[in-house]
Every structure is written in C-alpha cells, then in structure tokens.
Amino acid sequence: MSDKNPPQRHISAQAQSEDARLAGVLRPQRLSEFVGQEKMKANLAILIEAAQARQEPLDHILFHGPPGLGKTTLAHVVANEMNVNIRITAGPAIERAGDLAAILTNMRAGDILFIDEVHRLGRAVEEILYPAMEDFVLDIVVGKGPGAKNVRLKLPKFTVIGATTRLALLTAPLRARFGAAYRMDFYELEAVEDIVARGAAILGVPIEPDGAAEIAHRARGTPRVALRLLRRVRDFAQVRAEGQITQETAVAALTLLEIDPLGLDELDRRVLLSIIDKFGGGPVGLETIGASISEEPDTIMDVVEPYLLQLGFLERTPRGRVATPHAYRHLGRTYVAKAGSEPPPQLPLFEG
C-alpha cells in the first residue's frame, strides 16, 4: 500500500535538519564569542590557560543549571580552546558498563568526553567511570564464574565534562570526582539582546535594536529559547514584513506563537491555570499537576518550573506547588488570601 503523504513528511524532515544546522551555525566556537556567564567564563579561562601552560589535560568539569543555557555549547568551546577532540554521549545512551568501556578505550590523550544528562548514568556504569576519572584506568572482568579474572587497563589522561539539569540527582561519589563545578544561571536581558543581535547577523537577517529587545524580553533569559524565537520571527518577517525584524514585527510574530510579554508560553500557562483553577492555587503535588494537563512531571520540573520560580509565580512547599499572587495577577485571576497568610510584597515587574 503506497504512502499517501510522503512529500509532507519529507518537508518535515528537511525542516528539522535545517533547524539543527542553524543551531550549529549559531553556536559560538570560542570563549570570546560566548556571551554572558561572565564569572564562569573568567574561571574557565584561567583553568584552560593553566592546563595549557602545564601541557596537561583539563581537570574534569561539571556544568549544571536549567536547560538551554549553553552547557553543551561550552563543552564544545572548551574543546576548541584546548584544541582537542570531543566525544559526545548522554547518560541514558550508556546502558551497560561495556558501552562505556568501548568509549573509554577509544579516547586519546587530552580528549574530552562530554556526558549530557550525567545524572542518568546507571550505577554499574558509574562504578566503571570512577577509576577512569580518578586514576585513568579501566577495570574489566574477563570470563565468568571461578575462572573470571579482573584486568586493569591503563587509559590516556582525558577530561570528562558532565552536564546536568538535576544536580541533586548526581551521586556524591561522582560529583566529588569533578574538579571544577560551575552553575549556569539565567542570562541578563542585555546578554540575551546581544545573543539575538549576533544570531541575526549570522543568519543575515536585518533587525532593529527594538526588535532584538522584544525577542530578548520574551526569551526567558535562555539563549536556546532566544535563538529559536529569532528563527520563528525571521520566518514571519520574511512572509509578512519584507524580511526586516522591527519591534512591531516581533510583537506580531510572538503573539501569533502565543508567547506573552514575560515569555510564558502555552505550557507555562496551562501549569499555572491548573494549579489556580483546578486546585485552588495549591499546594498540589507535581504528579497531580502533570496528570491534570497530560504532561510528564519531569518536563514540568525541568522545563517549566525554573523560570516560574525565577519570576516569583510559583513556590515549592513541603506539601506541593503553590501559585503566588503575582501569577494570579498576570493571568487575570482574582487572588483571595487564605487564612493566616501574609500579604505578598509588591513586584513592579509584574504590574499591568
């Protein structure tokens, strides 16, 4: 039976491939090109320069923080600065100890092994990684039963760069083996504006400062979101605004995408409205929220919560999540203080 819609699927695949290619083009290659996270960049620059002066591989590095802030990009930047190869994998992809052993035996001196979602490594895999990171040896068992032998292989000195959005889920022994750990925070507005302007220049899209500022305001302090919105606003400008991104064009495009002036999208609003309308503002558990909107609790915790907490729209309590009065006001709901609660402080950011 023939496929009725092959052209549509082909276009969809092409669009995904194009987005992936553009993401790579927009990624900075050097520390000097990386915008924001200034304190961390200064520490990284010292770490890199000292390792180069000693002609040694870098110490193991851990990047942690919300998704989309540039952890993977920084791993590539570090590899470029050290002029070494980088091998990329992810915690869930390494299912067995043998998978990690195969990767480690192919490492060369000075290489970087980047492990995304490092908190999702299995316990058996971690046990192989500990001596590899600490002593640069690989312990493997050959054979089975009474005749089994433990063989220790020497590995070249290499660097592990781990990235995680859930630092608390990283086991203490693994965390202790990273010599440098850096938390990545949401970006300042000025930094996001610079990222948008730089991205527009690379894409060859004319953009006015007010247009870049409008996109930055709605980007949640996250470079990945900013560049994704830039590409969508570029599409809108190409079709309806003669290719140039002005403030008016950006507002029209982002309104069509249902991105509000604070950067909240449809999923953010569903989470908040579920807490407010279905559960009286909370407290309510994460599993219950996820079930009420047909969304995975991990997605809410990793993608939605960090920014809502940053805005002051959500509180975590021992009994569950609570929507704050500022969330009520932003969503046009009437807040009724519960008995014994104190009036909230006024936050000018959310006025109007």
| Total residue length of the chain | 352
d(CA 155, CA 105): 7
**In 117-254, which ranges are E strands?**
137-142, 149-154, 159-164, 180-183
Q: Is 27 a catalytic residue?
A: no
Q: The tokens of 318 are what?
A: 């021992």
291 phi, psi to nearest 5 deg: -65, -35
Residue 337 C-alpha from the chain's centroid? 35
Q: The tokens of 291 are what?
A: 């079930």
Q: Is the CB of residue 64 less than 8 Å from the CB of residue 116?
A: no
Q: Which of the residues 116, 220, 234, 249 is marked catalytic?
A: 116
d(CA 239, CA 220): 26
Q: Is 39 a catalytic residue?
A: no
Q: Is 154 a catalytic residue?
A: no
Q: Which of the residues 177, 218, 220, 224 is marked catalytic?
A: 224
Q: Is 41 a catalytic residue?
A: no
Residue 188: name the closest of 233, 245, 234, 226 by CA. 226
Q: Which of the residues 159, 164, 165, 222 is marked catalytic?
A: 165
Q: Is 235 a catalytic residue?
A: no
Q: Is the CB of residue 102 less than 8 Å from the CB of residue 95?
A: no
Q: Tell me which residues are annotated as active site.
A: 71-72, 116, 165, 224
